[in-house]
Protein backbone atom coordinates (compact mmCIF):
# COMPACT_ATOMS: atom_id res chain seq x y z
CA UNK A 1 0.00 0.00 0.00
CA UNK A 2 1.10 3.56 -0.62
CA UNK A 3 1.26 6.22 2.04
CA UNK A 4 -1.46 8.23 0.31
CA UNK A 5 -3.85 5.27 0.33
CA UNK A 6 -3.34 4.74 4.05
CA UNK A 7 -3.88 8.42 4.84
CA UNK A 8 -6.97 8.50 2.62
CA UNK A 9 -8.40 5.58 4.60
CA UNK A 10 -8.25 7.76 7.73
CA UNK A 11 -5.06 6.49 9.35
CA UNK A 12 -3.09 9.26 11.03
CA UNK A 13 0.51 9.69 9.80
CA UNK A 14 1.86 9.12 13.33
CA UNK A 15 -0.02 5.82 13.50
CA UNK A 16 1.44 4.75 10.16
CA UNK A 17 5.00 5.46 11.25
CA UNK A 18 4.39 3.92 14.68
CA UNK A 19 3.29 0.72 12.92
CA UNK A 20 6.44 0.83 10.79
CA UNK A 21 8.71 1.43 13.80
CA UNK A 22 7.13 -1.45 15.75
CA UNK A 23 7.43 -3.96 12.91
CA UNK A 24 3.77 -4.15 11.94
CA UNK A 25 4.55 -2.66 8.53
CA UNK A 26 7.55 -3.32 6.31
CA UNK A 27 8.88 -0.61 4.05
CA UNK A 28 9.30 -1.94 0.50
CA UNK A 29 10.29 1.34 -1.11
CA UNK A 30 9.88 5.04 -0.43
CA UNK A 31 6.19 5.53 0.32
CA UNK A 32 5.29 1.85 -0.21
CA UNK A 33 4.52 -0.39 2.76
CA UNK A 34 3.47 -4.00 3.30
CA UNK A 35 1.73 -5.59 6.30
CA UNK A 36 4.31 -7.74 8.06
CA UNK A 37 1.69 -10.39 8.92
CA UNK A 38 0.61 -10.83 5.26
CA UNK A 39 2.58 -12.98 2.81
CA UNK A 40 4.90 -11.07 0.49
CA UNK A 41 4.12 -10.94 -3.23
CA UNK A 42 6.14 -13.29 -5.45
CA UNK A 43 8.36 -10.45 -6.67
CA UNK A 44 8.56 -7.68 -4.09
CA UNK A 45 10.67 -5.42 -6.32
CA UNK A 46 8.14 -5.56 -9.16
CA UNK A 47 5.25 -4.83 -6.78
CA UNK A 48 7.11 -1.84 -5.31
CA UNK A 49 7.87 -0.39 -8.75
CA UNK A 50 4.31 -0.89 -9.98
CA UNK A 51 2.99 0.87 -6.88
CA UNK A 52 5.26 3.86 -7.51
CA UNK A 53 4.89 3.95 -11.34
CA UNK A 54 1.37 2.64 -12.09
CA UNK A 55 1.51 3.59 -15.81
CA UNK A 56 4.55 1.35 -16.37
CA UNK A 57 4.45 -1.94 -18.26
CA UNK A 58 6.77 -4.77 -17.23
CA UNK A 59 8.98 -5.67 -20.19
CA UNK A 60 11.96 -7.62 -21.54
CA UNK A 61 13.86 -9.80 -19.02
CA UNK A 62 11.51 -8.83 -16.17
CA UNK A 63 8.52 -9.90 -18.28
CA UNK A 64 10.31 -13.14 -19.22
CA UNK A 65 10.87 -13.83 -15.52
CA UNK A 66 7.20 -13.02 -14.78
CA UNK A 67 6.10 -15.50 -17.47
CA UNK A 68 8.74 -18.00 -16.23
CA UNK A 69 10.53 -18.14 -19.58
CA UNK A 70 14.25 -18.67 -19.94
CA UNK A 71 17.07 -18.77 -17.42
CA UNK A 72 17.76 -15.07 -17.12
CA UNK A 73 17.46 -13.27 -13.79
CA UNK A 74 16.76 -9.55 -14.20
CA UNK A 75 19.34 -7.31 -12.51
CA UNK A 76 16.77 -4.48 -12.41
CA UNK A 77 13.04 -4.16 -12.86
CA UNK A 78 12.66 -3.38 -16.56
CA UNK A 79 9.66 -1.23 -17.42
CA UNK A 80 8.32 0.45 -20.53
CA UNK A 81 6.97 4.00 -20.51
CA UNK A 82 5.68 6.38 -23.19
CA UNK A 83 8.37 8.51 -24.83
CA UNK A 84 7.02 11.74 -23.36
CA UNK A 85 7.09 10.48 -19.75
CA UNK A 86 10.19 11.25 -17.70
CA UNK A 87 12.21 8.44 -16.22
CA UNK A 88 11.18 8.02 -12.57
CA UNK A 89 13.86 8.44 -9.92
CA UNK A 90 13.62 5.57 -7.51
CA UNK A 91 16.34 4.89 -4.99
CA UNK A 92 15.28 1.29 -4.57
CA UNK A 93 14.59 -1.04 -6.32
CA UNK A 94 16.84 -0.57 -9.33
CA UNK A 95 14.78 0.28 -12.41
CA UNK A 96 15.71 0.22 -16.10
CA UNK A 97 13.33 2.22 -18.30
CA UNK A 98 12.69 1.67 -22.00
CA UNK A 99 10.75 4.43 -23.75
CA UNK A 100 8.42 3.15 -26.47
CA UNK A 101 6.05 4.58 -29.04
CA UNK A 102 2.34 4.59 -28.26
CA UNK A 103 1.70 1.75 -30.74
CA UNK A 104 4.43 -0.45 -29.24
CA UNK A 105 3.37 0.38 -25.68
CA UNK A 106 -0.31 -0.44 -26.14
CA UNK A 107 0.17 -3.72 -28.04
CA UNK A 108 -0.04 -6.97 -26.12
CA UNK A 109 -0.50 -5.58 -22.61
CA UNK A 110 -1.98 -7.96 -20.03
CA UNK A 111 -3.07 -7.05 -16.53
CA UNK A 112 -2.19 -9.33 -13.62
CA UNK A 113 -2.52 -8.82 -9.88
CA UNK A 114 0.41 -9.34 -7.52
CA UNK A 115 -0.93 -9.22 -3.99
CA UNK A 116 -3.14 -6.13 -4.19
CA UNK A 117 -0.99 -4.46 -6.82
CA UNK A 118 -2.15 -4.38 -10.45
CA UNK A 119 0.75 -5.26 -12.74
CA UNK A 120 0.73 -4.45 -16.44
CA UNK A 121 2.99 -6.85 -18.34
CA UNK A 122 3.51 -7.54 -22.03
CA UNK A 123 2.21 -10.86 -23.35
CA UNK A 124 4.64 -13.67 -24.12
CA UNK A 125 4.60 -13.04 -27.89
CA UNK A 126 5.11 -9.27 -27.46
CA UNK A 127 7.93 -9.85 -24.96
CA UNK A 128 9.78 -12.08 -27.42
CA UNK A 129 9.40 -9.46 -30.16
CA UNK A 130 10.66 -6.76 -27.78
CA UNK A 131 13.67 -8.91 -26.87
CA UNK A 132 14.68 -8.86 -30.53
CA UNK A 133 13.98 -5.13 -30.74
CA UNK A 134 16.30 -4.44 -27.80
CA UNK A 135 18.76 -7.26 -28.54
CA UNK A 136 21.70 -4.85 -28.44
CA UNK A 137 20.80 -3.85 -24.87
CA UNK A 138 19.85 -7.21 -23.37
CA UNK A 139 21.81 -9.57 -25.63
CA UNK A 140 20.90 -11.56 -28.71
CA UNK A 141 21.37 -14.79 -26.73
CA UNK A 142 18.52 -13.78 -24.39
CA UNK A 143 16.20 -13.12 -27.34
CA UNK A 144 17.07 -16.41 -29.07
CA UNK A 145 16.68 -18.40 -25.84
CA UNK A 146 13.24 -16.85 -25.25
CA UNK A 147 12.13 -17.55 -28.83
CA UNK A 148 13.33 -21.17 -28.66
CA UNK A 149 11.55 -21.86 -25.38
CA UNK A 150 8.31 -20.18 -26.43
CA UNK A 151 8.17 -22.08 -29.73
CA UNK A 152 9.21 -25.40 -28.12
CA UNK A 153 6.61 -25.12 -25.30
CA UNK A 154 3.97 -23.60 -27.59
CA UNK A 155 3.45 -20.74 -25.16
CA UNK A 156 2.72 -18.42 -28.10
CA UNK A 157 1.98 -19.08 -31.75
CA UNK A 158 4.61 -18.10 -34.34
CA UNK A 159 1.97 -15.97 -36.08
CA UNK A 160 1.42 -13.98 -32.85
CA UNK A 161 5.15 -13.41 -32.47
CA UNK A 162 5.40 -12.19 -36.09
CA UNK A 163 2.38 -9.91 -35.60
CA UNK A 164 4.08 -8.15 -32.67
CA UNK A 165 7.41 -8.21 -34.50
CA UNK A 166 5.81 -6.12 -37.24
CA UNK A 167 4.43 -3.68 -34.65
CA UNK A 168 7.92 -3.09 -33.21
CA UNK A 169 9.51 -3.26 -36.69
CA UNK A 170 11.74 -6.33 -36.26
CA UNK A 171 9.87 -8.80 -38.48
CA UNK A 172 12.81 -9.22 -40.85
CA UNK A 173 15.11 -9.90 -37.87
CA UNK A 174 12.96 -12.57 -36.22
CA UNK A 175 11.79 -14.35 -39.36
CA UNK A 176 15.04 -16.30 -40.08
CA UNK A 177 15.26 -17.50 -36.47
CA UNK A 178 11.61 -18.53 -36.50
CA UNK A 179 11.98 -20.39 -39.82
CA UNK A 180 14.98 -22.28 -38.42
CA UNK A 181 12.94 -23.43 -35.42
CA UNK A 182 9.90 -24.61 -37.45
Indicate whether 58 and 127 sit together in one domain: yes
Residue 157 sits in which domain range? 39-181
62 and 20 in a single domain? The answer is: no
- Pair (23, 85) in one structural domain: no
Q: How many domains does the chain have?
A: 2
Number of Cβ within a 10 Å radius of residue 51: 23
How high is the mean pLDDT of the chain?
A: 90
Q: Please indicate, yes or no, whether residues 76 and 121 belong to a single structural domain of this protein.
A: yes
Same domain, 111 and 169: yes
Which pLDDT belongs to residue 42?
A: 65
What is the band of 41 on the pLDDT scale with cuts at 50, 70, 90?
Answer: low
Whether 76 and 87 share a structural domain: yes
pTM of the model: 0.79
Euclidean distance between CA atoms 30 and 9, whole angstroms: 19
Q: Are β-strands 117-122 and 109-114 bridged in parallel, bridged antiparallel, or unpaired? A: antiparallel
Q: What is the mean pLDDT of residues 20-42?
A: 75
Q: Say how far apart CA 114 and CA 160 lie, in whole Å.
A: 26
Cis peptide before 107 (omega within 30 of 0): no
Same domain, 21 and 48: no
Cα separation, 147 vs 174, in Å, equals 9
Amino acid sequence: MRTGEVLQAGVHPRTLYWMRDHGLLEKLSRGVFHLASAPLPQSVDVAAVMQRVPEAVLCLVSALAHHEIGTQIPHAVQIALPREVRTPRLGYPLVQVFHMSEAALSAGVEEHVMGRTPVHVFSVAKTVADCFKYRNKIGLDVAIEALQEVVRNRTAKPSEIMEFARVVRVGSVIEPYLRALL
